[in-house]
Amino acid sequence: MATKVLVVFYSMYGHVYTLAEAIAAGAREIPEVEITFRQVAELVPEEVLEKSGAKAAREAFAHVPLARVEELAEADAILFGTPTRFGNMAAQMRNFLDQTGGLWAKGALVGKVGSVFTSTASQHGGQETTITSFHITLLHHGMVIVGVPYTAPGLTTMAEITGGTPYGASTLTGVDGSRQPSDNEKEIARFQGRHVAEIAKRLQR
Q: Which residue lies nearer to ligand FMN by CB, 89 or 200? A: 89
Q: Which amino acid is at 88?
A: N
Tell whether residue 84 is among the known ligand binding residues: yes
Binding-site ranges for ligand FMN (CB under 6 A)? 11-16, 83-87, 119-122, 125-126, 173, 177
Kindly state the DSSP code that residue 163 receives in the 8-state scheme: -
Q: Which residue lies nearer to ligand FMN by CB, 156 or 176? A: 176
Strand partners for 33: 3
Alpha helix (H) residue ranges in the chain: 15-28, 46-51, 54-58, 70-74, 91-97, 101-106, 127-140, 183-204
Smallest distance from ligand FMN to CB 15, Å: 3
Smallest distance from ligand FMN to CB 143, Å: 23
Smallest distance from ligand FMN to CB 91, Å: 9
Smallest distance from ligand FMN to CB 184, Å: 17
Tell whether residue 14 is among the known ligand binding residues: yes
Tell whether residue 191 is among the known ligand binding residues: no
CA angle 47, 41, 49 (to 5 degrees): 20
Roughly how many angstroms between the first and final C-alpha of the chain, as a whole number?
Answer: 10
Q: Which amino acid is at 108?
A: A
Tell whether residue 82 is among the known ligand binding residues: no
Cβ-closest position to ligand FMN: 125
Residue ranges for the known binding site for substrate are 104
